[in-house]
Amino acid sequence: MSDETKDRVRYGRAQKFQLSPTGSEAVAAYELMLAEARAGSGRAQFDAARASWGAPRGLTAEDGLFLVEFGAGERTIAEAMRNLESCGTTSKELKAAVERLLGCGMLMPVAAPPAPPPTPHRYW
């Protein structure tokens, strides 16, 4: 068994994720970069802008898409996958991105709501 497999944390299907404060800052910078890139000319300039956005944060250029999706609100991986299907994102890519973004502190798991109190039993 490799060290990678031992250190992985498994989350349930109902686990939701949200942006951390660092992730929120990254999304704001990503949206600013998108606005500036629209004024540019061509795909090459856009790709270069995404790469320069991600490099100082230790992110890939594609991570901006995932951060924006989780920035829209708390999401499970399945909910995010439904929203990103039209972008050509696969489930495997999304799961890898979530692990990567959790590892670098851009995403954080949402705490589960407290369990409802038990109903009292009456024995008469």
In a domain, 118, yes or no: no
Given the structure tokens 């973004």, which residue do they identify? Answer: 101
Full-model pTM: 0.78
pLDDT at position 117 is 84
pLDDT at position 96 is 92
- Residue 97, number of CB atoms within 10 A of its CB: 25
Instruction: Give the domain extent around 101.
Output: 21-109
In a domain, 87, yes or no: yes
User: Phi/psi at 62 (nearest 5 deg)?
Assistant: -75, -20
Total count of domains within the chain: 1
In a domain, 81, yes or no: yes
Given the structure tokens 């942006």, which residue do they identify? Answer: 19
pLDDT at position 5 is 47
Strand order of the sheet with strand 16-19?
75-76, 16-19, 107-109
Supply angle C-alpha 84, 94, 43, rounded to 5. 60
Predicted confidence pLDDT, tens digits, the chain (124 residues):
444 444 566 777 889 999 999 999 999 999 998 888 888 777 888 888 888 898 888 898 889 999 999 999 899 999 999 999 988 889 999 999 999 999 999 999 988 777 788 888 877 7
Strands 107-109 and 75-76 turn out to be unpaired
In a domain, 36, yes or no: yes
End-to-end CA distance of the chain: 56
In a domain, 123, yes or no: no
In a domain, 4, yes or no: no
